[in-house]
A and B are shown apart, each in its own frame.
Chain A
């Protein structure tokens, strides 16, 4: 029965999922091509410093690791379009229980021998599938781009696997927190608003925490703090702490979502 629920979700979201995957693939392919065309050496930085405020330049070269071809390729994994597209899909996936409760479908499904845990497991499976598929589409764009485009670097696509995985973990942690909220919501609109609001709050906390000392400690409570795909790709060591923290948030929030759903009135 999990299979029936899972494939129903796949069928219903196949077009959206396919379009997003294609868009992400093309975006990353395009970024590889653009990065290959640009001279991203010190002259590029000097050029930007003359035309942009120092804070923006710092952000481009600091947060977004734009100082090299490798960094520019990794930028695809934290490009605003990638983040918005991936988070949007995840929010859609994890708010399925709220949508089905709102439509009255949950009554129809759970009046059958479907334990609540299995129903939520089906939602979680679809969410997990989406959270892995979308970063893999980006990785596909990287792989094809690096193979097809004449690049100034010998970097291989597998170097970007940690970037894709850390993005997947970010999506899983944000999605699990939204799932926790969605299991208590009676309307999808409310669940979406809560999920998006929470994501924006975390993003704001991480962004502001970098520049505002007051938020420096609080920043560590945001999943975005543990998300640095540039470092994941080019760092000297595997970012195990980031993976562990994001994984722990996912496990904890998902478990709480199960408990919450189990005791809810439907």
Chain B
């Protein structure tokens, strides 16, 4: 029996495998503001076609990282690469759509003038007619021609955010860097924004989604990086982050709550007011649901955990001590 592999026997007819570099790559990326840490030793790789969630509380270093990636600020040490090229190259940014977290637009321009101006700065138009793409985006985000004809200074926060979103998406970039993209938007428009991100991913684009809103990250992202005090605290798939997080649950029992039974299924009682209990449910929820099915329940809700709660749940074990580095 021959032990030669096909690669050994037919080297000339195989096309060389092209491995594209990560769309975003940070190598020990560090930025200090005086003695204050912006980000420190950040290592990160984001691949093509991925929606990457970037989570962290205020001051964790999310915006600093984004500004480093876009060469708006300079690294103290380390390196940021976009499409395999150092991020200082301005040409790279024709492939990027960026929405800043604190969006500022020129109040003296109309929405349409602003979009045209930003499109002119973008230089290289994406595939398809940029005007058609812009019209489609405006239509989907609920920006009417009347709105676009008004001065930006008359816009609400949400309207400005919509213009910023159109500006980020209008040239169909290969990489979208979106810092809190749904801020100030109503739930319907938020939904459209999440759809646009998913569509961009389906079209082969990469999305770097910095957010505070866990449910949005949960719905859209493939992987999530959690930043704390300028350092990468965790890099997880969304599934892992779900398992790592602790759900909160509020249950209204018609009768006396079965406290012993709740403890037996792993639910931790946080608070009790009469028949209403607030529970922390780490891990599997199925045993708790089975228990609840045996008792008359008036009402049940799952409050969205705040980012802080999620972080607390993630960083603390059952005894309440901080998770040590190297702990599972």
- B residues less than 8 Å from A12 (CB atoms): 108
A111 touches B90 (CB 8 A): no
- List B contacts of A114 (CB < 8 A): 90, 93, 121
Q: Name which residue of chain A comes closest to B93, CB basis.
A: A113
How many residues does chain A have at the interface if contact means C-beta atoms less than 8 Å apart? 21
Q: Please tell me if B196 contacts chain A, counting CB pairs below 8 Å.
A: no
Q: Is B100 engaged at the interface, CB distance under 8 Å to the other chain?
A: yes
- A263 closest partner in B (C-beta): B74
A113 near B124 with CB under 8 A, answer yes
Q: Which residues of B contact A5 (CB under 8 A)?
A: 121
> Which residues between 25 and 73 of chain B lie within 8 Å of chain A, taking CB atoms?
67, 70-73
In the complex, chain A residues whose CB is within 8 Å of the CB of B100: 104, 107-108, 111
Q: Cβ of A110: which chain B residues have Cβ within 8 Å of it? A: 70-72
Summed over the interface, the residue pairs from A and B with CB atoms below 8 Å come to a total of 69
Kindly supply a per-residue 1/0 record for chain B positions 108-133, scoring 1 wherever the CB is within 8 Å of any chain A CB and 0 otherwise. Answer: 10000000011011111000000000
Q: Are A265 and B72 in contact (CB-based, < 8 A)?
A: yes
CA A162 – CA B106 in complex, angstroms? 39
B122 & A265 in contact (Cβ 8 Å cutoff): no
Is A198's beta carbon under 8 Å from chain B? no
Residues on A lying within 8 angstroms of B by beta carbon are 1, 4-5, 8, 12, 103-105, 107-116, 263, 265-266
- B103 at interface (Cβ–Cβ under 8 A)? yes
Q: Which 3 A-B pairs have CB atoms at the shortest separation, nearest pair first?
A: A104-B104, A4-B120, A113-B94
Residues of A near B124 (CB, < 8 A) are: 113
Asked if B91 is at the interface of the complex by the 8 Å CB criterion, the answer is yes
Interface string of B162-194 (1 = CB under 8 A from A): 000001000000000000000000000000000
Find out whether the CB atom of A113 lies under 8 angstroms from the CB atom of B123.
yes
**Could you list 28 A-B pairs, sorted by A, with CB under 8 Å?**
A1-B120, A1-B121, A4-B121, A8-B117, A103-B104, A104-B102, A105-B105, A107-B67, A107-B104, A108-B167, A109-B118, A111-B70, A111-B93, A112-B93, A112-B98, A113-B92, A113-B93, A113-B94, A113-B121, A113-B122, A113-B124, A114-B93, A116-B90, A265-B72, A265-B73, A266-B67, A266-B72, A266-B73
